[in-house]
Amino acid sequence: MTKNYWLELDDDASLNDLPADATPGFDGDDDDARDATDKLRDELIELQERLYAEQRHAVLIVFQAMDTGGKDSTIRRVFSGVNPAGIRMARFGRPSEKELAHDYLWRVHPHTPARGQIVIFNRSHYEDVLVVRTNKLFPEPVWRRRYEHIRGFEGLLADEGATILKFYLHIDRDEQRERLQSRLDEPDKHWKFDAHDLEQRKLWDDYMAAYADAIRETSRPFAPWYIIPANRKWYRDYAVMSIIVQALRKLDPKYPEPDYDPRKIRLE
Ligand code: AMP
Ligand code: MG
């Protein structure tokens, strides 16, 4: 009875054709979704506790989206209340001079999860085939061969025991306009406004093409991409939460059996 909470990108389709305000797999209203998300969060907290105790599975969760797409608030809402001991977020912004002097995966690999950990990537190595492509930071032959590197890199992590989930939060151009405008209108959001985002907005169609290629080239059973319609925040949170909880249920983490007999230990 697994429902699909994501959108499929057909071979010749453009991301611009996928409805960012859809709510696939959900027939209730926004309050139902919020309640369901809260319930699932309790389960997530329990599953993460077991995963941490068991120290067997590593989990990597990648978030990518256009500016204002909702990466930060999805992460905040899905993971709030999870024990910080076993969870970490890594943010990948503009690379430093030192990072640029290395290959583009050099800065990424140290942040991958150890067994027992969940690591969230807020942006990721995918920027190296997205912003790098749309802004022509490197020529096409350089970024094009990276799809193969990325498949290999994620294949390595998966072979060594990582579960990888990748989310592209899909908003449309009109929604981005509204969200950018609210960053100008609301004093509490001024800190989020970045004039650089307006430059990137002009490249919208180039970004959609870059995202579509990245998703097609690197979605594999061991590292699937989920295209989440993200105009409606309550649906986005619910969909992401559902997919993560389902993946953790499948791992079925268990508290380890003690290597001693607790009944035989006497405290003084
Ligand atoms: P933010 O997520 O708002 O903190 O912005 C981070 C910025 O860093 C975005 O504009 C990204 O496109 C940019 N960025 C991330 N990774 C790279 C990269 N590998 N090369 C160039 N820019 C990047
Ligand atoms: Mg930003």
Q: Output the pTM of the full model.
A: 0.97
Residue nearest to atom 11 of ligand 1 (CA): 93
Residues 6+ apart with CB under 8 A from 65: 71, 168, 169, 170, 171, 230
| DSSP class of 128 | G
pLDDT at 168 > cutoff 50: yes
pLDDT recorded at residue 2? 58
Contact 179, 233 (CB under 8 A): no
In whole angstroms, what is the distance from residue 231 CA to residue 171 CA? 5
In whole angstroms, what is the distance from residue 59 CA to residue 117 CA? 6
Dihedral sign of CA atoms 213, 218, 223, 224 in order: positive
Question: pLDDT category, 51, cuts 50, 70, 90?
Answer: very high
pLDDT at 148 > cutoff 80: yes
Residue 192 CA: which ligand 1 atom is closest? 3
User: From the CA of 65, which ligand is nearest?
Assistant: 1
pLDDT at 1 > cutoff 50: no
Contact 8, 201 (CB under 8 A): no
Task: Convert the pLDDT of each residue in 127-141 to its tens digit.
Answer: 999 999 999 999 999
128 lines ligand 1 (CB under 6 A): yes
In whole angstroms, what is the distance from residue 106 CA to residue 99 CA? 7
pLDDT recorded at residue 3? 74
108 lines ligand 1 (CB under 6 A): no
In whole angstroms, what is the distance from residue 31 CA to residue 155 CA? 39
93 lines ligand 1 (CB under 6 A): yes
Average pLDDT over residues 232-259: 98
Task: Convert the pLDDT of each residue in 207-231 to its tens digit.
Answer: 999 999 999 999 999 999 999 999 9
Average pLDDT over residues 107-121: 98
Strand partners, 170: 229
Taking the centre of ligand 2 as the mean of its atom positions, its distance from the CA of residue 141, in whole angstroms, is 28
Residue 67 CA: which ligand 1 atom is closest? 3
Contact 205, 211 (CB under 8 A): no
